[in-house]
Copies of this chain bind each other. A is one copy, B any other.
Amino acid sequence: MASILANHSVEAALEKYLPEEELKEVKRVLYGRPVEDIGSELPQEAHQSAKDHNFALQAYRIAAPPEQIRSPRLVKIGLIQNAIVKPTTAPLQEQRAAIHERIKLITECAAQAGVKILCFQEAWTTPFFFCTREKYPWVELAESAEDGLSTKLCQELAKQHNMVIISPILERDSENMDILANTAVVIDNHGVVMGKSRKNHIPRVGDFNESTYYFEGDTGHKVFQTEFGRIAINICYGRHHPLNWMMYAMNGAEVIFNPSATVGALSEPMWPIEARNAAIANSVFTCAINRVGTEAYEHEFTSGDTKAAHNEFGEFYGSSYVAAPDGCRTPGLPRNQDGLLVTDVDLNLQRQIRDKWCFSMTGRYDMYARELTAFTSGDYQRPIVQAPKQ
């Protein structure tokens, strides 16, 4: 029998085995102050939808102490993780239509739950075929960020449900010599495309051969001022680069989304660390989203790991979560089931934690600007101290 962790999460395994008092203390150290489970506040129809359509629905609140002058700025953030629906060999239009249908359905549940900012996983409209080194047929699924089919669907959903939608897709920029890009499209709650933000750091690690498909993003560190808060998107591998998170925060982000696709053998022990560290270091909310399931491809491929050629590359382990400026975090969604994570966050916590910890005032950014400039100047002299002659 598979372990509880395999079926769900570390958190579920701890809940099952640790005695109450021990559990409380272990969770304090591992996850920070308790976040409130608000599952019971969600409408019955949302829970019914999750049950009927076999996706996990978890909901939490990360509150902040009340202030005298500012009102709480509670906003419900939704993260969706999902497996592809059809086999990777199905006709492309069927593959996309099935994913659209599934996401539409989970988005409706998010609306019922009161979500105001919803983010899908990286390249949500396609299988994650970048392991294969094949381009066709799936690059055909790349779309215009501004008016592709998936953007149009998101516009409809955003308008209908009065929610901001972040739609990370494989972008085809036909106005720009047909380049491909890994891009998050931001659609405001009136259904208007606000703009796009491209993946800044592109992996060349194991099966994640992405640098042969698209290149380092050229959209910098944009922040989107929505009606519900300032948001930014740090796509997938960018989570390994603390500077990437930092620059979004410096530009004013209150919530930074990290739509991802990553598999267990490669990155699972890093997953709970990186987005959470970014939340702490930058006093922001961070939202880590990973897809689930396995994806099989018709033509075998290798992984640069001495192993034989194969047709699938392991399990995307889900485990999507939200981390807060004070270092607390929600439990993760399951490792192996589609899911919607609803987190009601009070954005006021950001400034409160900045006032407490002072990271943004103790950062000495001028020193680092000088050092990084010197470092990248081409003739950098490292300050390495050698042992004196005796």
Cα–Cα distance between A281 and B240 once the two chains are bound (Å): 6
Instruction: Answer yes or no: A294 CB below 8 A from chain B CBs.
Output: no
Cα–Cα distance between A39 and B100 once the two chains are bound (Å): 55
B359 touches A241 (CB 8 A): yes
Instruction: Answer yes or no: A175 CB below 8 A from chain B CBs.
Output: no
Instruction: Answer yes or no: A314 CB below 8 A from chain B CBs.
Output: no
Decide yes or no: A369 and B364 within 8 Å by CB, A186-B385, A230-B384 being known contacts.
no
Decide yes or no: A359 and B240 within 8 Å by CB, A272-B30, A375-B365 being known contacts.
yes
Cα–Cα distance between A191 and B273 once the two chains are bound (Å): 38
Stretch with Cβ within 8 A of B (4 or more), from A5-13, A105-113, A131-139: A5-13
Kindly provide the distance from the CB of A224 to the nearest chain B CB, expressed in whole angstroms: 5
Cα–Cα distance between A364 and B198 once the two chains are bound (Å): 14
Cα–Cα distance between A6 and B281 once the two chains are bound (Å): 27
A242 touches B240 (CB 8 A): no
Cα–Cα distance between A243 and B363 once the two chains are bound (Å): 8
A384 touches B251 (CB 8 A): yes
Decide yes or no: A29 and B269 within 8 Å by CB, A13-B22, A362-B202 being known contacts.
yes
For chain A, residues 266 to 289, give those with C-beta under 8 angstroms from any C-beta of chain B: 268-274, 276-277, 280-281
Instruction: Answer yes or no: A372 CB below 8 A from chain B CBs.
Output: yes
Tell which of B230, B247, B273, B385 touches A277, judged by Cβ atoms closer than 8 Å: B273
Kindly provide the distance from the CB of A336 to the nearest chain B CB, expressed in whole angstroms: 13
- Chain B minimum-CB-distance residue to A205: B357
Chain B residues whose CB sits within 8 angstroms of the CB of A227 once the complex forms: 387
Kindly provide the distance from the CB of A159 to the nearest chain B CB, expressed in whole angstroms: 11
Chain B residues whose CB sits within 8 angstroms of the CB of A252 once the complex forms: 382, 384
Chain B residues whose CB sits within 8 angstroms of the CB of A30 once the complex forms: 10, 30, 269, 272
Instruction: Answer yes or no: A327 CB below 8 A from chain B CBs.
Output: yes
B22 touches A5 (CB 8 A): yes
Most buried by B among A223, A251, A274, A368: A368
Kindly provide the distance from the CB of A214 to the nearest chain B CB, expressed in whole angstroms: 13
Decide yes or no: A383 and B223 within 8 Å by CB, A359-B241, A364-B216 being known contacts.
yes
Kindly provide the distance from the CB of A37 to the nearest chain B CB, expressed in whole angstroms: 18
Q: Mark A352-373, 1 if CB is under 8 A from B, else 0.
A: 0000111100111111110111
Cα–Cα distance between A281 and B388 once the two chains are bound (Å): 32
Using a CB–CB distance below 8 Å, which chain A residues touch chain B?
A: 3-6, 10, 13-14, 17-19, 21-22, 25-26, 28-33, 186, 188, 190, 192, 194-195, 200-206, 216, 220-227, 230, 237, 240-243, 246-247, 250-252, 268-274, 276-277, 280-281, 327-328, 356-359, 362-369, 371-373, 375-376, 382-388, 390
Q: Which 3 A-B pairs have the closest CB atoms?
A: A242-B242, A277-B277, A32-B269
A-B contacts, 8 listed (Cβ < 8 Å): A28-B269, A192-B388, A221-B383, A222-B383, A226-B387, A230-B384, A242-B277, A365-B375
17 more A-B residue pairs beyond the given contacts A200-B367, A227-B387, A242-B243, with a C-beta to C-beta distance below 8 A: A3-B22, A6-B25, A10-B30, A194-B385, A201-B362, A216-B364, A223-B385, A240-B359, A243-B363, A250-B375, A251-B382, A252-B382, A273-B276, A273-B327, A365-B372, A365-B375, A369-B372
